Amino acid sequence: MPRPTGDVHAFEAHATDADLDELRARLAATRLPEAETVRRAEPGPHRWEQGVPLADLVDVVNYWRTGYDWRSFEERLNGIGQFRTTIDELGIHFLHRRSARADATPLILTHGWPGSIAEFIDVVDVLADPEDGDAPAFHVVIPSLPGFGYSDKPAATGWGVEKIAAAWVELMGRLGYGKFAAHGGDWGGNITTVLGGRFPEHVLGIHTTLAEAPPGLTTDGLTAVERKWVEETRDFRSRRAAYAKQQATRPQTIGYSLVDSPVGLLAWILDKFAEWSDTEDSPFETISKDRVLDDVTLYWLTRTGASSARIYYESHNSLDPDLRVDVPSAITVYPRDIEKCPRPWAQERYRQIVRWRAPEVGGHFPSLEVPEYFVQDLREGLAAVLAAHR
């Protein structure tokens, strides 16, 4: 079995007690605004019309300060196996879980924003060593994007999706994986698309929950459901994507608040978990507070609120309109995701779609919202991809 080269070094996550004490002190000293003016007693999405409701935020802040256990998340990360390597003068952090199966396929999973490696913490083991001997197994690699988590923060511009995809090829090569499969959603979906389009000699195929069509396509011939998807996506981009415009144009400005205020960071991220999840009222209907706080605390302790926002500055609306993906592709469109691409449009970019699914439940964070379905879908999608590649 291939082993990492000398350029790859083991890493352990360990926040100091002082950092955790400071976090709790800042939470205790929080200054909060008055409640929103759209207060409603009954649960429902309208409670969130002006953003995170005050009562919900106070509840999570109190739990973060008095009940949440960061050490348990650290132990899980260290138990999976953490490493760092330097690519193009930037330190890249990643999880690496080798399968015990001799027939396992190398697989790189790429997160997005406001996600992190925490998105995949509950699916690593079952992907690497499934109980069902007939299920495919994977050597799982989960890198932290540049400027996210324990990866370094770029000191200059240039780390957009194209450069990140090239770095992932280099990373997998250093681990002995000259050929591999790739999955991603959100920014990870963009990067996975670039991997499949630019590096077909290394990428066996891809699975993505974000299919991005070339621009300028017509709605002629689309089904009623597909037209609805187009309308919902346009509504999201025009009315609910102010965060993206802010981070694409002024990431430094919002970054001061995100790095200085843990409650500001929590609200900025929790708002997205609420709006983008397949729930009626609160993201905690499907995602535990601990999982959301694993993600937020990782941003806080690594001080990556500003540096992570810069991926929008680097890459917002920058996917090459002429990029085509010829490797086998499996695409899953979740009903409550924020951007949904009709299959006829997707086929203009992804030229060999071997599996297409549109499940009835799930949103932008399927590995956290519907983890069992996510794992099964990923396995079946990649099985179709690998079968087509052979």
Query: CB neighbours of 374 closer than 8 A, spacing ≥ 6?
Result: 123, 362, 366, 367
Whose tokens are 């996506």? That residue is 233
Q: What is the mean pLDDT of residues 91-101?
A: 98
Q: What span, in angstroms and rounded, lies between the C-alpha atoms of 70 and 117?
A: 15
Helix ranges (DSSP H) in the chain: 17-28, 54-66, 70-80, 124-128, 161-174, 187-198, 224-239, 242-249, 251-260, 262-276, 289-302, 305-315, 343-346, 366-369, 371-389
CA quadruple 350, 171, 137, 296: dihedral sign: negative
Whose tokens are 């609306």? That residue is 317
What pLDDT score was predicted for residue 389? Answer: 78
Q: What span, in angstroms and rounded, lies between the C-alpha atoms of 101 and 262?
A: 42
Chain segment 194-203, per-residue pLDDT in tens: 999 999 999 9
Chain segment 122-164, per-residue pLDDT in tens: 999 999 999 998 999 999 999 999 999 999 999 999 999 999 9
Q: What span, in angstroms and rounded, lies between the C-alpha atoms of 390 and 380?
A: 16
What pLDDT score was predicted for residue 38? Answer: 86
What pLDDT score was predicted for residue 3? Answer: 54
144: phi then psi, degrees, rounded to nearest 5: -85, 130
Q: What is the mean pLDDT of residues 25-34?
A: 97
What pLDDT score was predicted for residue 390? Answer: 72
Chain segment 237-256, per-residue pLDDT in tens: 999 999 999 999 999 999 99
The DSSP call for residue 283 is G
Domain-by-domain residue ranges, the chain?
Answer: 8-389
What would be the CATH architecture of the domain defined by 8-389? 3-Layer(aba) Sandwich (3.40)
Opening angle at CA 90, ends 93 and 273, nearest 5: 50
Chain segment 313-340, per-residue pLDDT in tens: 999 988 999 999 999 999 999 999 999 9
What pLDDT score was predicted for residue 1? Answer: 44
Whose tokens are 């086929």? That residue is 347
Question: For the chain, what is the mean pLDDT?
Answer: 96
pTM score of the predicted model = 0.96
Q: What span, in angstroms and rounded, lies between the C-alpha atoms of 82 and 92?
A: 11
30: phi then psi, degrees, rounded to nearest 5: -60, 135
With CA atoms as reference, report the closest residue to 114 among 20, 187, 193, 211: 187
pLDDT at residue 166 greater than cutoff 50: yes
